[in-house]
Amino acid sequence: MPYPTTGPATWFVTGASHGLGLELVQQLLRRGDNVAATTRSTERLIAALGSADTSRLLALRVNLADEKEVANAVAAAGDRFGGIDVVVNNAGYGLLGAVEEITDAEARELFDVQIFGAWNVLRAVLPGMRARRSGHVINISSILGLTTFPGWGAYCAAKYALEGLTGSLAAEVADFGVRVNLVEPGYLRTDFLRTHNLRLPARVADGYDAIREMTDAHLAMPGTQLGDPAKAAAAIITIARDGTAPLHQLLGSDSYTLASTAVEHLTGDIEAARQLATTTDIGQNA
């Protein structure tokens, strides 16, 4: 079984010092589980945990884009707790701007955290999981890994990449007893839409008034989001414990509605594309 039936489980959680990651770490510690938690600032994480019992916490300052740092963090977690049972790739931030406004450096930095950072973690933890024939990978995506909004092109691109990576991974490691899930939340009432987590491009182009208005609306949104981060964290724990969730686990009624609409639109496109698609087979007349 990927999740221990007796004793504490050992979790490796990235992006742990705020938002959903922090809520998850808090709940895991209250449960008595072992938690290796990565963050850019261990001081910020410890401060955010307040009076929580941190005797089962290993706080790790890690730059997820640095493969060696990630490998060392996973090794440290193994030295402290033994094998890692559940990995949660949660680290990430928003980048809101038109496609043409996002610089190469801004796009690469985003992908460094949300794709290459997650990939570094996977490369580090999977050998041990395969050897034990046990483990669980939970990658935190977004409803924007299943649909798109104007102004969110860079973020959607990163989450779509994570979705593709995770789908392939799930098939690759199934025979090793390793479970894999994507979690696709809608809007959670966290600090994700605050300016320190929602970045804006350094340059803006004329004519994108609708994106500017949408940006202002999102910056004014904190405190009104539908999703409860405590319930979302509890759901992630349930996914790990039960092992029965589908590969794509939506969280939030807004996520469910948006995903359903996206599927309807994709189905319509597929049917509209069928006639021309079938003409490109060898031996078919145009």
For the chain, what percent of residues have pLDDT higher than 90? 84
User: pTM here?
Assistant: 0.94
How confident is the prediction for the chain on average, in pLDDT?
93
**How many CA atoms lie within 13 Å of 272's alpha carbon, on the beta-carbon side?**
6
- Res. 1: pLDDT tops 60: no
pLDDT for 284 equals 77
Which is it for the CA torsion 67, 87, 176, 72, positive or negative?
positive
- Res. 121: pLDDT tops 70: yes
Architecture in CATH of 10-253: 3-Layer(aba) Sandwich (3.40)
Digit-coded pLDDT (tens) for 211-234: 999 888 888 777 777 788 999 999
Give the pLDDT mean for 26-51.
95
Give the pLDDT mean for 108-133.
97
Nearest to 252 by CA among 244, 263, 264, 260: 260
The least confident of 2-16, 123-137, 182-196, 247-261 is 182-196
Give the pLDDT mean for 127-135.
97
- Res. 123: pLDDT tops 60: yes
Give the pLDDT mean for 73-85.
97
User: What DSSP character marks residue 17?
Assistant: S
Six token digits for residue 105: 């450096």
Active site residues: 155
Give the pLDDT mean for 250-269.
97
DSSP 170-223: HHHHGGGTEEEEEEEE--BSSSTTSTTTEE--SS--TT-HHHHHHHHHHHT-TT
Digit-coded pLDDT (tens) for 91-102: 999 999 999 999
- Res. 118: pLDDT tops 90: yes
* Of 235 and 4, more confident: 235
- Res. 18: pLDDT tops 60: yes
Six token digits for residue 225: 């989001």
Q: What is the maximum alpha-carbon separation in the chain?
A: 72
* Of 103 and 191, more confident: 103
Other C-beta atoms closer than 10 Å to the C-beta of 151 total 22
- Res. 196: pLDDT tops 70: no
The domain segmentation of the chain, as residue ranges, is 10-253
- Res. 280: pLDDT tops 60: yes
For residue 172, name the pLDDT band (cuts at 50, 70, 90).
Answer: very high
* Of 158 and 228, more confident: 158
pLDDT for 194 equals 63
Give the pLDDT mean for 104-133.
97
